[in-house]
Homo-oligomer: A and B are copies of this chain.
Amino acid sequence: MDPAVHMTGALDPRGGWVAEECSISRALEVIGARSTLLILREAFYGTTRFADFASRAGLSEPVAAARLRELLSDGLLELQDYQDPGKRTRQDYRLTPKGAELFPVLAALMQWGDRWLAESDGPVELRHRGCEQHVAVQLRCAAGHEVDSGELDLASGASHQARSVPDAT
């Protein structure tokens, strides 16, 4: 509570984040639908086949098919040939690098849901292989400092005026 807002400048509302130029807005055009993120969740959980996507994401086949098609054409998934020994060649859905780099979005959503919406700690945990420690999403600057929300400035790319992010922690 008690939002400590430290203005360090003024970010012009027309300074480039509204509507189409905004990367958040653009990202939402691609993954804005709920079903899209559920499909991606399954892809990160290791699902590769059509029927599994539909049933595990809890979607009807037509919806799953539509989303998978979009994800292919947006380059987040790709079809890959595989062959079970003694069977004919088939195809399954694999994450591309573009799709795989969405993982922090899902991880951040999961972390927030675990914190604010789950009874316990949430049913799925992320761990660092080898070290086995819990993995969290965090903000860190290029100098290596962990940054909390009170220390963030927003800068518009053009003007490089800065404004702080409202802090409510």
**A residues lining the B interface (CB < 8 Å):** 1, 3, 5-8, 11, 13, 15-19, 21-28, 30, 32, 34, 37-38, 41, 43-46, 52, 56, 58, 80, 94-118, 120-143, 145, 147, 149, 151-158, 162-169
8 sampled A-B residue pairs with Cβ under 8 A: A3-B94, A28-B37, A45-B165, A101-B115, A120-B157, A129-B164, A135-B140, A137-B139
Contact of A140 (CB < 8 Å), options: B56, B58, B136, B151:
B136
Number of copies of this chain that the complex holds: 2
Q: Would you give the shortest CB distance from A54 to chain B, in whole angstroms?
A: 12
Contact of A110 (CB < 8 Å), options: B24, B142, B153, B168:
B24
